[in-house]
Amino acid sequence: MSEPINVVVTGAAGQIAYSLLYQLASGSVFGQNQPINLRLLDLPFAMEPLQGVVMELEDLALPILREVIPTSDPEIAFKDASAAFLVGAMPRKEGMERKDLLSANVKIFKVQGEALDKFARKDVKVLVVGNPANTNALICSHYAPSIPKENFTAMTRLDQNRAQAVLASRLGVQVDKVKNVIIWGNHSSTQYPDASHAIVNDQSVPIAVNDDAWLNGVFVETIQKRGAAVIAARKNSSAMSAANAAADHMRDWFNGTKPGQFISMGVVSDGSYGIPKDIVFSFPVTIKDKTYTIVQGLEINDFAKTKLAITVKELEDERTEAHSVLMP
């Protein structure tokens, strides 16, 4: 058994955390030989329900779960953290403009970036789930200058999993037979779910589907609007599937991707594929030794170029709005 690592979950009294915490405590993310200390951050008003979550974690009686500390103090939460799931965020309320939503959230992610900078390990791996996830991750990294930018990521794995499931269903195959679907851009309705490089049982997905109009139309829109469809049906946003995707993202980051496989993560752009630097953009990546590399050399056709431009524009607008809130 290794020494325990400190794992932070923010928004720990919320619904995504409720599903995620079991996966962490049961070893499905960091492995059965990696004990963890959980640091559960939420707002002061949520400390009572959070106590209930702590009781349930104790009642799991799971061997790799060591200390559990519920807190509303970022210093306590982020102290010596090796991994951080930033799930807590201000939800969109009725009538709220995007600017108001950004304004509330970038303030939260500024505080958490500063706390990571001061108290976390310098190799901490940060996954931002709370929306607007890409821009929140960007802000967080700006306020944590002592931690490499590569350590800040945003979650688009749920979008990837959704895309994989829709393609598997269309092709009548088991979901794990579909690989290398890409989510480009923002975790929002401007994202571009791209099946053109995906494979199914070693065959190209576009050839297997044999319907480009569907791949460029219904498929793209279904994934872009899937989050809204879940909210319409459940009256609550995706939680079980979001927690599962967060676990997938961090597991792959720690353990690496399989040969020939790539996955999508929101990362600080290095200019690959002509995407402007200094936005957090979802790219296909491979991971080895806890380090991701953006997959290079994929062909981007004219249709894809148009889609990428739309999601780049949205992320640049979000960045401008975020900066105007923080540095008026």
Residue 189 binds ligand NAX (CB under 6 A)? no
C-alpha dihedral sign at 155, 156, 162, 167 = negative
Is 167:140 a contact under the CB 8 Å cutoff?
no
Residue 305 parent element (H or E): helix 302-326
- Whole-angstrom Cα distance, residue 173 to residue 160? 17
Is 264:285 a contact under the CB 8 Å cutoff?
yes
Residue 242 binds ligand NAX (CB under 6 A)? yes
236 is in an annotated binding site: no
**Nearest alpha carbon to residue 316 among 264, 274, 275:** 275
For ligand NAX, the binding residues in 15-34 under the rule CB under 6 A are 15-17
Q: Closest separation between CB of residue 299 and ligand NAX, Å? A: 27
Residue 42 binds ligand NAX (CB under 6 A)? yes
Residue 57 binds ligand NAX (CB under 6 A)? no
Residue 126 parent element (H or E): strand 125-128
Residue 183 binds ligand NAX (CB under 6 A)? no
- Whole-angstrom Cα distance, residue 165 to residue 91? 27
- 3-state class of 322 per DSSP? helix
Residue 250 binds ligand NAX (CB under 6 A)? no
For ligand NAX, the binding residues in 136-165 under the rule CB under 6 A are 155, 158
Q: Closest separation between CB of residue 226 and ligand NAX, Å? A: 10
Q: Which of 88/185 has CB closer to ligand NAX?
A: 88
Residue 224 class from Cβ within 10 Å (0-12 exposed, 13-18 middle, 19+ buried)? middle
Is residue 197 annotated as a catalytic residue, yes or no?
no
- Whole-angstrom Cα distance, residue 79 to residue 67? 13
Helical packing angle, 47-60 and 15-25, nearest 10°: 30
Residue keyed to tokens 């939680």: 239
- 3-state class of 167 per DSSP? helix
Identified catalytic residue from 187, 197, 249, 323: 187
Residue 130 binds ligand NAX (CB under 6 A)? yes
**Residue 84: what residue type?**
A
Residue 43 binds ligand NAX (CB under 6 A)? yes
Residue 39 binds ligand NAX (CB under 6 A)? no
- Whole-angstrom Cα distance, residue 241 to residue 250? 14
Among 41, 68, 199, 280, contact with ligand NAX (rule: CB under 6 A) = 41
129 is in an annotated binding site: yes
Is 119:75 a contact under the CB 8 Å cutoff?
yes
Residue 228 binds ligand NAX (CB under 6 A)? no
186 is in an annotated binding site: no
C-alpha dihedral sign at 168, 246, 51, 102 = negative
Q: Which of 42/252 has CB closer to ligand NAX?
A: 42
Q: Which of 43/229 has CB closer to ligand NAX?
A: 43
Q: Closest separation between CB of residue 236 and ligand NAX, Å? A: 7
Residue 10 binds ligand NAX (CB under 6 A)? yes
Q: Closest separation between CB of residue 134 and ligand NAX, Å? A: 9
42 is in an annotated binding site: yes
Among 54, 89, 279, 287, contact with ligand NAX (rule: CB under 6 A) = 89
226 is in an annotated binding site: no
Among 54, 81, 84, 88, contact with ligand NAX (rule: CB under 6 A) = 88
- Whole-angstrom Cα distance, residue 227 to residue 279? 22
Residues that bind ligand NAX (CB under 6 A): 10-11, 13-17, 41-43, 46, 87-91, 108, 129-131, 133, 155, 158, 187, 227, 237-239, 242
Catalytic residue list: 187
